[in-house]
Amino acid sequence: MAILAECPMCHRKQKVSNKLCHCGAELDKIKKNNANPKAKLKVLYWISYRLPGGKQRRESVSFSIEEARDAEGKRRSQKRENTIFDIKPDAKMTFNELTKWYLDLEKVKSRAYYPTLTINLNSFNDEFGDMVVDQIKPIDLENYQAKRKKADYADSYIDQAIGAAKAMVTKAFYNDLVGERTLKKFKMVEKLLKENANARNRILHPDEYNKLMAHLPAHAKPVITMAFHTGMRIGEILPLTWDKVDLKKRIISLEAKDTKDKEPRIIDIDNGLYEMLRDIPLAIHDNHVFLYKGKPMRRILRSLKTACTKAGIIYGRFEKGGFICHDLRHTFVTYARKAGVAQSVIMKTTGHSTTAMFHRYNTVDNEDTRNGINQFEDYVKSVDQNVDQKAKGANQ
């Protein structure tokens, strides 16, 4: 067993006796700050030991060397008395081990966002992977947020990483792998991004859509057409197979496994989409609707960016006025509402389960406000006319 000192500059864990870190930080001088609650730089102490069977464990303790020595002594005693396995599971398991358990769950692996979930958990484990789960503290998570933000990561990306870890810990809690105290620590951490702060309001106007279509390559046009005419997610469109498309009934039938919210959905096919689908040749060797060079399409990002550049449309999530593929979903919702389609019908088509999410995708633009003020003006005029008519009638 050993007590380790974590350098606050590079986070290297090393012998307590080291006076100078590999990165050049003067550890002896920084240790003097540990007693100062306002000090920004402090040396965090860890204990390192092996469980019976040889597995290495590291636990963060505190900024007090005395507390670290006490914790080390407790673990020595438990190991000597062979009671270390009596410790609750989250006091023995690292976040790397918990992540392996979580990502191996069949229900988790079946989720459409599994690759993104893996990336988010890997990002979280870059910082906490070797830490024993029950040693995490709310301040650790807050420091993680601050460091990531300082490194120019987007608030949404940081929230996703902690959110993925929170979902994992919640699942572990209901399977008796972690205690309530561990779960509570994650629930205490507030998101950096306030609700709907990153909501987008970009829609693709009809003239922009026509310009974009004129510059898209042949294989990408049908994909964008379907997104524009149905509001389907790109992750629902690209994997689409012909057995889910009924051109006679003019419907697309998505099963629960095909949608993000795991709910089946029926999408009607309008005339423009019908003509596009009717012209796509059926491949003998593959049942996917959208193929490129004989293989199912996995992405269209490069084609879309190139076409946007040629059409004079700014592309990019973080560009002012920038357009991204997902904005076609906003576009469908907004223009369906403008066309007078009932909100309940739009929600059933797009799979929005709450009105809050519907309103997030429904963009109210200058045309709407102008129509609104014109309706107001017409109403006021009609009221005035009624008053005038009643006044004339009274005088007669």
- For residues 188 and 248, state if they share a domain: no
Q: Which residues are CB-neighbours of 318 under 8 A, at least 6 positions away? A: 154
pLDDT tens digits for range 260-311:
877 889 989 988 899 999 999 888 899 999 999 999 998 888 999 999 999 9
Q: Is 100 left (phi over 0), alpha (psi -120 to 50) or beta?
A: alpha
Q: Which of 155, 176, 198 is the last residue of a domain?
A: 198
Q: Beta strands of 255-292 (E only): which ranges?
A: 265-268, 291-292
User: Residue 267: inside a domain, yes or no?
Assistant: yes
Residue of 31 and 385 predicted with greater confidence: 31
What DSSP string describes 144-162?
A: HHHHHHHTT--HHHHHHHH
- For residues 82 and 95, state if they share a domain: no
- For residues 155 and 12, state if they share a domain: no
- For residues 213 and 343, state if they share a domain: yes
Judged against a pLDDT cut of 70, whether residue 112 lies above it is answered with no
Mean pLDDT of 208-213: 93
Mean pLDDT of 130-134: 89
C-alpha–C-alpha distance, residues 295 and 287, integer Å: 10
- For residues 164 and 237, state if they share a domain: no
- For residues 335 and 261, state if they share a domain: yes
User: Residue 102: inside a domain, yes or no?
Assistant: yes
Please give the residue range of the domain that contains residue 177.
90-198
User: Residue 1: inside a domain, yes or no?
Assistant: yes
C-alpha–C-alpha distance, residues 289 and 241, integer Å: 5
- For residues 210 and 357, state if they share a domain: yes
User: Residue 389: inside a domain, yes or no?
Assistant: no
- For residues 160 and 248, state if they share a domain: no
Check which CATH number belongs to the domain holding 341 and give it: 1.10.443.10
Q: How is residue 375 written in tokens?
A: 């309706």
Identify the CA nearest to 169 among candidates 154, 184, 147. 184
Angle (CA) 341 347 348, round 5°:
100
User: Residue 388: inside a domain, yes or no?
Assistant: no
- For residues 30 and 59, state if they share a domain: yes
The tally of domains found in the chain comes to 3
- For residues 137 and 283, state if they share a domain: no
pTM: 0.52
- For residues 108 and 30, state if they share a domain: no
- For residues 213 and 315, state if they share a domain: yes
pLDDT tens digits for range 31-85:
888 888 778 888 999 988 876 656 677 888 888 899 889 888 887 887 776 654 4
